[in-house]
Amino acid sequence: MIRVTFDIDPAGLSSVTDSHLAALWHIGQANPAPHGDREAGQLAGAVGSEIVRRWLAAAAPELHAHQPGDHHWKTLLQHGLWAGPGGAWVPHADCTPQAATPTEPQEA
């Protein structure tokens, strides 16, 4: 039998390489400590936070996910569509205003 042990300094995670950090993630998850062990959980949390920090630092920000006119555009599409020659906006049949006809109360 061969026993392999690792000394991991959670405070030094920012200085390890990406491949080393990936290995530390696996080591932290394979840790034989009992489920709920405080130090095992703190190590897994520290390694995971460093992975997320690096991923977000390298990820390009989302551009144009939300735009000022999106609400109005979505509302238009919920109530109709652009169709026909020239691209006229046509309301959906169930969104057309019903002609209001005043009714007199019925006598019993």
Tell me, what's the pLDDT at 93? 80
Cα gap 38→88, rounded to integer Å: 64
Q: Which residues of the chain carry a pLDDT beneath 50?
A: 99-101
The amino acid at residue 80 is: G
Tell me, what's the pLDDT at 101? 46
Tell me, what's the pLDDT at 64? 84
Domain count, the chain: 1
Q: 50 is in which domain, residue-wise?
A: 10-58
Cα 60 to the center of its chain, rounded Å: 15
35 within domain boundaries: yes
Question: Is 103 strand, coil or helix?
Answer: coil
| Numbers of helices and strands, H then E, in the chain | 3, 2
DSSP string, 15-38: GS-HHHHHHHHHHHHH--SPTT-H
27 within domain boundaries: yes
The amino acid at residue 11 is: A
45 within domain boundaries: yes
Tell me, what's the pLDDT at 95? 64
Contacts of 71 (CB under 8 A, 6+ apart): none
**H or E stretch covering 47:** helix 38-58
17 within domain boundaries: yes
97 within domain boundaries: no
Query: Is the full-model pTM beyond 0.85?
Result: no
41 within domain boundaries: yes
